[in-house]
């Protein structure tokens, strides 16, 4: 049984920003090649600042905890700042993940980046 930090358990049992945003400014969907789990991320952006963010996942507990944490890290940030959030930042903020669960944190950061790229693409049109 992997040992989870208190913060992981807190975000897993009380995930922040779960849900869907209708008509998002950016949307990202990624799959985890390791386990096949899925993550969706929605963002609302004003003046390049992430004003709202929601996620939905068909992932394990670590995927839920890392996405919850990534939404807290990203909200209120400029999109270019938010693009710099890495899976390691997320894991560090959660006081670490068991090594066999590190792959789960890929989903959260990757889905956030995908949503921001989507926003940037739409803005150019």
Active site residue 104: yes
- Location of structure tokens 């090594």: 99
The one among 63, 82, 94, 111 contacting ligand FES by CB under 6 A: 63
Q: Annotated catalytic, 60?
A: no
Instruction: Give the shortest CB-87-to-ligand FES separation in angstroms.
Output: 12
In angstroms, the CA 54 to CA 28 distance is: 11
Residues with Cβ within 8 Å of 48's Cβ and at least 6 positions away in sequence, in order, are: 78, 79, 80
Nearer to ligand FES, 39 or 73 (CB): 39
Six-digit token string for 76:
């209120």
Nearer to ligand FES, 21 or 63 (CB): 63
Q: Can you tell me the distance from the alpha carbon of 79 to that of 45, in angstroms, rounded to the nearest whole number?
A: 8
| Interface region with ligand FES, contact rule CB under 6 A, candidates 11-19, 56-64, 67-75, 111-119 | 56-64
Q: Smaller CB distance to ligand FES: residue 37 or 40?
A: 37
């Amino acid at each position: 049984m992997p040992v989870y930090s208190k913060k992981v358990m807190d975000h897993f049992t009380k995930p922040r920003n779960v849900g869907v945003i209708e008509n998002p400014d950016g949307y990202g969907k990624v799959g985890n090649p390791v386990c096949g789990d899925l993550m969706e991320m929605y963002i609302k952006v004003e003046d390049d600042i992430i004003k709202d963010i929601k996620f939905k996942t068909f992932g394990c507990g670590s995927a839920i905890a890392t996405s919850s944490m990534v939404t807290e890290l990203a909200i209120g940030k400029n999109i270019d700042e938010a693009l710099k959030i890495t899976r390691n930042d997320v894991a560090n903020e959660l006081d670490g993940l068991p090594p066999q669960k590190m792959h789960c944190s890929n989903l959260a950061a990757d889905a956030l980046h995908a949503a921001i790229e989507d926003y940037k693409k739409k803005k150019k049109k």
